[in-house]
């Protein structure tokens, strides 16, 4: 019998969405997830209309380290002396995490404003292609390739995945990236929180109903963690 994980892996390879719920003890949110390399304008449209949260793209550690893409919080720390008010914004009160995954924002240089469906799909899919290409480059070559094709700031929010992924952090960034790793794909996912008509995070049972109605795989984070810990990728 095919497991949920196997169904999700097959869906991602086919360029389909999967839904991932992190856990009741964390954000208790469901994210709509797709492989960044499979991104299309139609996928962006589905995410903004059916999910409604912030559309973000995960960056595996091997890529953000090669490209020298910092965490946004690190840039804030470096700016404390010039802008001391930023120190007061430190996210020291998050009840579900100790570190934000947010990196910088980018647009592809072939976009205009960067926000239409076509623009964001282009930025995301081309960034995934770049991430795969830079594996064989020196760091200087990789940074030059990034600057040639992308500008910042932009309208695609990058999320830097922790080295070790689920061995270190268990947010949606790592859950989605780990699932793509298990699928044998480039581990960049594009994710978007699902919101309800009441303006709050979509309740789990409502997200499950959407998955059933749309023919999508719904995964609990615990299922991904279990598969990860049983894989060759975990410590």
Q: Is the pTM of this model over 0.95?
A: no
Mean pLDDT of the chain: 92
Is residue 218 flagged as an active site residue? no
Element (H, E) at 56: strand 56-59
- pLDDT given for residue 34 in this prediction: 98
The pLDDT-based confidence of 215 (bands split at 50, 70, 90) is very high
Cα(152)–Cα(10) distance, rounded to whole angstroms?
A: 34
pLDDT tens-digit map of 68-80? 999 998 999 999 9
Name the fold adopted by 4-229: DHBP synthase (3.90.870)
The single residue of 107, 108, 126, 174 carrying the catalytic annotation is: 107
Cα(67)–Cα(157) distance, rounded to whole angstroms?
A: 16
The single residue of 6, 65, 155, 167 carrying the catalytic annotation is: 155
The single residue of 22, 27, 29, 31 carrying the catalytic annotation is: 31
Neighbours of 90 (CB within 10 A): 11
Q: Which residue from 160, 177, 188, 183 is spatially nearest to 221, judged by alpha carbons? A: 177
- In this predicted structure, the answer to whether residue 229 has a pLDDT above a threshold of 90 is no
The single residue of 56, 172, 174, 218 carrying the catalytic annotation is: 56
The pLDDT of 130-144, averaged and rounded, is: 95
Those residues with Cβ within 8 angstroms of residue 111's Cβ, 6 or more apart along the chain or in another chain? 119, 122, 123, 154
Is residue 192 flagged as an active site residue? no
Is residue 31 flagged as an active site residue? yes
DSSP one-letter string for 175-232? HHHHHHHHTTS-S-EEEEEBB-TTSSBPPHHHHHHHHHHHT-EEEEHHHHHHHHHTST
Q: Which of 98-107, 114-123, 128-137 has the lowest mean pLDDT?
A: 98-107
Coil/strand/helix, residue 106: strand
| More confidently predicted of 187 and 101 | 187
The pLDDT-based confidence of 98 (bands split at 50, 70, 90) is low
Is residue 71 flagged as an active site residue? no
The single residue of 24, 68, 83, 96 carrying the catalytic annotation is: 96
- In this predicted structure, the answer to whether residue 135 has a pLDDT above a threshold of 80 is yes
- pLDDT given for residue 1 in this prediction: 47
Q: Which of 9-18, 28-37, 96-105, 128-137 has the lowest mean pLDDT?
A: 96-105
The pLDDT-based confidence of 90 (bands split at 50, 70, 90) is confident
Domain ranges of the chain: 4-229
The single residue of 27, 37, 119, 193 carrying the catalytic annotation is: 193
Is residue 4 flagged as an active site residue? no
pLDDT tens-digit map of 143-152? 999 999 999 9
């Amino acid at each position: 019998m095919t497991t949920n994980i196997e169904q999700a892996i097959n869906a991602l390879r086919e360029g389909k969405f999967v839904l991932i719920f992190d856990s009741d003890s964390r954000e208790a949110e469901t994210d709509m997830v797709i492989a960044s390399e499979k991104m299309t304008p139609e996928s962006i449209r589905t995410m903004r209309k059916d999910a409604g949260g912030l559309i973000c793209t995960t960056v595996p550690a091997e890529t953000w380290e090669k490209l020298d893409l910092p965490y946004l919080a690190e840039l804030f720390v470096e700016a404390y002396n010039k802008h001391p008010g930023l120190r007061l914004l430190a996210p020291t009160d998050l009840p579900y995490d100790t570190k934000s995954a947010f990196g910088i924002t980018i647009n592809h240089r072939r976009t205009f404003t960067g926000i239409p469906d076509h623009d964001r799909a282009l930025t995301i899919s081309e960034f995934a292609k770049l991430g795969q290409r830079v594996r064989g480059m020196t760091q200087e070559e990789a940074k030059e390739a990034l600057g040639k094709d992308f500008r910042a700031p932009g309208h695609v929010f990058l999320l830097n995945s922790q080295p070790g992924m689920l061995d270190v952090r268990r947010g949606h960034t790592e859950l989605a990236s780990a699932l793509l790793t298990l699928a044998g794909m480039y581990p960049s996912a594009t994710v978007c929180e699902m919101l309800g008509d009441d303006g709050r995070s979509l309740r789990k049972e409502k997200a499950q109903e959407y998955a059933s109605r749309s023919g999508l795989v719904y995964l609990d984070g615990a299922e991904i963690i279990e598969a990860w810990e049983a894989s060759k990728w975990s410590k």
